[in-house]
Amino acid sequence: MSVHSTEVRLAARPHGWPTAETFEITRAEVADPAPGQLLVHNLLMSVDPYMRSRMDDRESYVPPFKVGEALQGGAVGEVVESTVDGFKPGDTVLHGLGWREYALVDARSAAKVDPSVAPHAAYLSVLGMTGLTAYAGLLRTAEFKAGDVVFVSSAAGAVGQVVGQLAKHKGAAKVIGSAGSAAKVAFLKDDLGFDEAFDYHDGPVRDQLKRAAPDGIDVYFDNVGGEQLEAAIATMNVHGRITVCGMISVYNATEPTPAPRNLAQLIGKRITMRGMLVTDHGDLRDAFVRDVAPLVADGSIRHHETVFEGLDRAPEAFLAMMRGDGQGKILVKIA
């Protein structure tokens, strides 16, 4: 049974910041599923910073989006039709073909999830790729250990909120977060239990971080780059560790950015700085779920989502995420 589906396509490659004209909302016919495929009615989808780099036609760790074709990203949906043993209509699945109402999904790329265990949103945030990114980036890439002082940039965002709480749960001496508004600073301290937090608009990040961590930091989880990375290097203790998860400050830059200007400090301080992609850490998924799911269930780790209603608002949601609007994970409710 072929269906017609609303989908959001890349209309043009942006130069600098994306705009509404970057996207096109249209209707398309979706064919019957071929052998090995599922027809999925999407319910909820994610927007994420990495999607911005895929809008550019340049070599990267993942192929760019194609102009004129639907964008892609994490989604949770309900199986409508299946050609595969092990999946049946009514099953709820997590997959990578968001930005559309209906998706033809290769069964090997879909994972069944149980909405009776956790809400749909959790599988796109704290119990999904977002949570695994935080878990692997903190515990494996940054080699976190109890007693570390941890600084997280974009700490009120999807990954940052999980990193800070995990660090606290694992015995950090202090957890510090930066965010972009007074409301987000209050959210970090009052709702998520960060020890210190500051608004990076309120003055030089280096000065604010030094006040929050007078004895230095041991781990920096970087979601921003630029000035915040420079400040972290300046404040870092000997043998500090940096996980570079994202650099949202430069994603829309049209000219080279100057910071960080103090990379030479990596030598004297013997700092380890490592980039990370969550796709390299699939072997941690089972341990991550065993470790984190009970903490989510009992409220030890909290998660917050900002939800936009309607697929036609997906471009708006993406732009809001890029600006740093909203708190926690930015999601779009499709159905």
- Of 43, 109, 107, which is closest to residue 78 (Cα–Cα)? 43
Q: Is the pLDDT of residue 45 over 70?
A: yes
- pLDDT grade for 59, boundaries at 50, 70 and 90: confident
Q: What's the length of the chain?
A: 335
Of residues 199 and 62, the one with the higher pLDDT is 199
Which structure tokens are listed for 134?
């935080």
- Please give the Cα distance from 294 to 305 (Å, whole number): 19
Q: Average pLDDT in the 22-43 region?
A: 97
- pLDDT grade for 276, boundaries at 50, 70 and 90: very high
User: For the chain, what percent of residues have pLDDT higher than 90?
Assistant: 92
- Least reliable range by pLDDT among 22-26, 114-118, 249-253, 292-296: 249-253
**In contact, 78 and 40? CB cutoff 8 Å:** yes
Average pLDDT, the chain: 95
Single-letter amino acid, residue 98: G
Q: Average pLDDT in the 197-212 region?
A: 98
DSSP output for 250-279? GTT-SS-------TTHHHHTT-EEEE--GG
Q: Average pLDDT in the 30-58 region?
A: 96
The CATH T-level fold of domain 129-279 is Rossmann fold (3.40.50)
User: With the C-alpha atoms ordered 310, 315, 318, 319, is the resulting torsion angle positive or negative?
Assistant: negative
Instruction: Name 229's Cβ contacts closer than 8 Å, sequence gap at least 6.
Output: 153, 220, 222, 242, 244, 247, 259, 260
Instruction: Name 80's Cβ contacts closer than 8 Å, sequence gap at least 6.
Output: 3, 39, 40, 41, 89, 102
- Please give the Cα distance from 230 to 323 (Å, whole number): 21
Q: Is the pLDDT of residue 190 over 90?
A: yes
Q: Is the pLDDT of residue 148 over 90?
A: yes
Q: Average pLDDT in the 150-167 region?
A: 97
Q: Average pLDDT in the 79-84 region?
A: 97
Helix then strand then coil, in percent of the chain rounded to 5, is: 35, 30, 40
Q: Give pLDDT, residue 61.
A: 83
Q: Within the chain, which residue ranges are assigned CATH 3.40.50.720?
A: 129-279
Q: Average pLDDT in the 154-160 region?
A: 95
The CATH T-level fold of domain 3-125+304-333 is Quinone Oxidoreductase; Chain A, domain 1 (3.90.180)
Per-residue DSSP letter, 304: -
Q: Give pLDDT, residue 120.
A: 95
Q: Is the pLDDT of residue 1 over 80?
A: no
The pTM of the full predicted model, rounded to 2 decimals, is 0.91
Q: Is the pLDDT of residue 70 over 70?
A: yes
- Of 260, 176, 179, which is closest to residue 210 (Cα–Cα)? 176
Q: Give pLDDT, residue 308.
A: 98
- pLDDT grade for 258, boundaries at 50, 70 and 90: confident
Q: Within the chain, which residue ranges are assigned CATH 3.90.180.10?
A: 3-125+304-333
